[in-house]
Amino acid sequence: MPYTVLALKWRPKYFDEIIGQSHIVDTLKSAIQNNRLAHAYLFSGPRGVGKTSTARILAKALNCKNGPTVAPCQTCPSCVDITNSRSLDVMEIDGASNRGIDEIRTLRESIKFSPSSGRYKIYIIDEVHMLTTEAFNALLKTLEEPPEFVKFIFATTQANKVLPTVISRCQRFDFRRITNIEIIKQLEKILQAEKIHLDKEVLFAIAKSSDGALRDAESILDQVVSFCEGKVSLGDVTSILGLVEQDTLFEITQKIISRDSLAALELMNQIIDQGKDINVFLQNMVEHYRNLMVAKISGADAKLIDLSEEVCQRLGAQAQGLGLEEIFTAFNVLMNASEMARRMDSQRIPLEIALAKLSYDKNKAAKVAPSQVVEAPKKPHAHVEIKKSESDNTEIKKLRVPHQERIIENKPLFSKTFDEVRDVWAGVIDSLAKVKISVATYLSEGQPFRIDKDILTVAFPKNYSLHKESLERKENKTLIEKSLTHALGEALRVNFILTEKEIHRHGQDTQVVKSALDAFGGRVIQEI
């Protein structure tokens, strides 16, 4: 007998077997019981969460010999034919390969004929968003006023691409991603029935890699069981899927917290030597910091983090060594590394830079910092001389301003040009990174906008209010102004604004490329 993959073997046959979509199941069951069925439904949501399975169960519920019923018998000819995809009254159409107006015209012609044996003629169109605009328009009239024996069920992963005129003629149900806990419960049920033993940590790794899609989790489980004979370890799963183990994520984050750059880079090198995908590693790091953020805010609530109690406790303990600002900074650094990796041929260099930034010992840098900061020269005190007028004994104050002071007053407030400020901008950010990396990271998202007298305005995109508010803190603003003064040789104050205009970071990209060229002794062949 041919082998049936787990995703098909364990496909739900009843409404109560649909995992994680109780809000939809309860509504459909109530509609069937009260005979309040719509003529068209739109099921939208991510892949592998039960859209097509729900459509089939609904078709069975309507055409079962005992129906309409919330519990189709699964044994009558109609139920069996629908299960085996051979029913003449339930037609499943792939929207991607039948997307043209000619196919829809053919469908409209067939709609006129009554069902052959069931109560309803049901059209299930998968990936309906793939239909052309002309095909949608050809379907509109029929969709609005179909024959009483016709039902439409549309399924899509991209509801935003479906015409609003189509959506308005349907009852829409939004399927959600299935939580890791729900996926693990279903996998445990499958393993028990199949008489297979796997550790719970293996199931968590499978659930995490499925990204909320139960069908994907079942397919991965099939792959793992087929690949590994006998006992399956967590290492086997991470090796097959290219994942980074949870323990490794905790370990490298601890190196960052301990400000041990060398150990962090060595551990990253080990991960890469094991054949792990750098993009997957970056994504896993971002997810780990997301979990740390939630653990920090919620007190390691397992429901919010969606991981096992043991892992949540470890996250809570590790989050104690981090502040929220440090976590937000890590997000920015890792996302910048991901963006840089897309622009460069090497994915390793951006990751190394990101880990070095996050694990750099700013306390050591702070000891060097005073030599990099120039204190403003002390102004000589003005001498006040008080004497009486000879005529009326009125006291007259004479303010003697030293010669040096008068020269400064006659000098322009700021003599550097805007281009000169832009030329030193990348160097200012680099110097700040050695003193306080969070300030450097936030400032790198902005760009010099204009100079008015001795005030430099730095612009950020309108959705970067967190960066602006953080840099406006007195200690951060003072640090930036001192660094600019040191780089330019003249005092310069800063002001921060949000703008809807696009922020270009050409200068920063050039600095990154220049650093890479210097490191590897390269040269520019052609500038684009």
Can you give the C-alpha Rg of the chain in angstroms?
A: 33
Q: What pLDDT was estimated at residue 361?
A: 66
Q: What pLDDT was estimated at residue 396?
A: 41
Does the CA dihedral 256-261-267-271 come out positive or negative?
positive
d(CA 258, CA 253): 9
Per-residue tokens: 504: 């270009």
Q: What pLDDT was estimated at residue 501?
A: 67
Query: Residues 231-283: pLDDT tens digits?
Result: 777 777 777 777 778 888 999 999 999 889 999 999 999 888 887 888 888 88
Per-residue tokens: 54: 């729900």
Amino acid occupying residue 399: L
Q: What pLDDT was estimated at residue 504?
A: 54
Q: How far is CA 20 from CA 28, 47, 177, 180, in A?
A: 15, 14, 8, 10
Does this model's pTM top 0.75?
A: no
| Contact partners, residue 278, CB within 8 Å, separation at least 6 | 272, 341, 347, 348, 351
Query: Residues 454-465: pLDDT tens digits?
Result: 889 999 888 788
3-state DSSP percent of the chain in helix, strand and coil, to 5: 55, 10, 35
Say if residues 173 and 43 touch (Cβ distance below 8 Å).
yes
d(CA 506, CA 382): 47
Q: What are the residue ranges in the chain where pLDDT is below 50?
A: 366-411, 506-517, 519, 526-528
Q: What pLDDT was estimated at residue 445?
A: 86
Q: What pLDDT was estimated at residue 325?
A: 87
Q: What pLDDT was estimated at residue 371?
A: 43
Q: How far is CA 378 from CA 254, 370, 408, in A?
A: 45, 17, 13
Q: What pLDDT was estimated at residue 369?
A: 44
Q: What pLDDT was estimated at residue 523?
A: 56
Q: What pLDDT was estimated at residue 413?
A: 61
Runs of H (alpha helix) within 373-505:
403-410, 418-435, 437-444, 465-471, 474-488
Amino acid occupying residue 433: A
